[in-house]
Amino acid sequence: MAALARSALRYSARHEAAASDSFADHVVAGLSDTPKWLSAKYFYDAAGSELFEEITRLPEYYPTRTELSILERCAKDISGYVPLSAALVEFGTGSTKKARLVIDAAPQLAAYVPVDISAEFLAAEAAAVRRDVPWIAVLPVAADFTRDFDLPQQIRSRPRVGFFPGSTIGNFEPEDATEFLRQAGRVLGPGSTMIVGVDLIKDTAVLDAAYNDAAGVTAQFNLNILARMNRELGGNFDLASFRHHAFYNVGHHRIEMHLESRKSQTVTVAGRRFEFRKGETIHTENSYKYTIDSFRALAREAGWRWATTWTDENNYFSVHALRL
């Protein structure tokens, strides 16, 4: 389980500029703004990571199982994009399950470099991969994958394959997604390959259901950010006074998640008071969806050449191979 495993994601460049790296400063900046917002990266404390793992098993939440089915079915093809004695560099390793599918299908890989902000989590996952795949060099890097970081010097002379599954890229504003891919290209270097998982635009009812599950797990996941502020920042949010609200915004090609105040109320958190009107929301997440073409265009804009795309039979999810 990936406690604290998902790395820092910028909600948008504007929000990044407004908020510093501390959770308290971030909360004060986001809740002082109009409309109110918080970055999705703060969902993933231990409780939130647990809830996200639960989300991935929900019947309505198709992305995780669909991507896994694509990686399984297309593993041999994908391995064709992995050069001899290459290093697989995974950006923001939540769980190594997906990387293991690639590693199993590509015995020519010499090294696996999981990059994650949580050193503790990385150490445990790295040990497990070393035990199961002893012929591969496992070289974890504890870093914020959205920033510049140095690859381990052991892989300096190896070809690199970047791996960014899970449609985590959907949490970025499109301009920030472009900037991320450009940055990944700088880290990996010319001649590299990048394998990226991207959720696709589809029937609105399917999208809405994936973020409004009948069991209410996504609601708990969303509301956990209030509980986290109570735990860590001395907040007094009454969770019953807020409602999970998620919907597909057709014009912006994104799922938006909000927490809506059920009444007019004042909340204290991080030593500050914040007023909520009845019906006012905190915007807690965007999850952008792409078409195969719109993602190709974004990758091209970031300097990557599109090589191929794998999808499932419903065209719900896509895995792209890009070359630099």
* Residue ranges binding ligand AVJ (CB under 6 A): 55, 63, 166-168, 170-171, 211, 218, 221, 285, 287
- DSSP string for 122-147: HHHHHHHHHHH-TTSEE--EES-TTS
Alpha-carbon Rg for the chain, nearest whole angstrom, is: 20
**CA geometry: angle at 46 spanning 267 and 63, to 5°?**
100
Query: Which stretches within the chain are classed as H helix?
Result: 13-18, 23-32, 46-55, 62-73, 75-79, 97-105, 119-132, 174-188, 204-210, 217-233, 292-301
Nearer to ligand AVJ, 106 or 122 (CB): 122
Minimum Å gap between C-beta 57 and ligand AVJ is 12
Tokens read off for 299:
């990758």
The residue count of the chain comes to 324
Q: For residue 90, which phi and psi values (nearest 5 degrees)?
A: -100, 125
Nearer to ligand AVJ, 151 or 225 (CB): 225
Instruction: Report the Cα 257 to chain-centroid distance in Å.
Output: 15
> Which residue's C-beta sits nearest to ligand AVJ?
287
Nearer to ligand AVJ, 211 or 274 (CB): 211
Query: Are residues 69 and 58 in contact, defined by beta-carbon separation less than 8 angstroms?
Result: no
Minimum Å gap between C-beta 113 and ligand AVJ is 21
- Give the pairing type, strands 305-311 and 317-323: antiparallel
Minimum Å gap between C-beta 141 and ligand AVJ is 21
Minimum Å gap between C-beta 257 and ligand AVJ is 6
Minimum Å gap between C-beta 55 and ligand AVJ is 5
Minimum Å gap between C-beta 211 and ligand AVJ is 5
Nearer to ligand AVJ, 171 or 309 (CB): 171
Nearer to ligand AVJ, 7 or 168 (CB): 168
Nearer to ligand AVJ, 287 or 318 (CB): 287
Nearer to ligand AVJ, 167 or 178 (CB): 167
Minimum Å gap between C-beta 235 and ligand AVJ is 21
Query: Are residues 38 and 48 in contact, defined by beta-carbon separation less than 8 angstroms?
Result: no
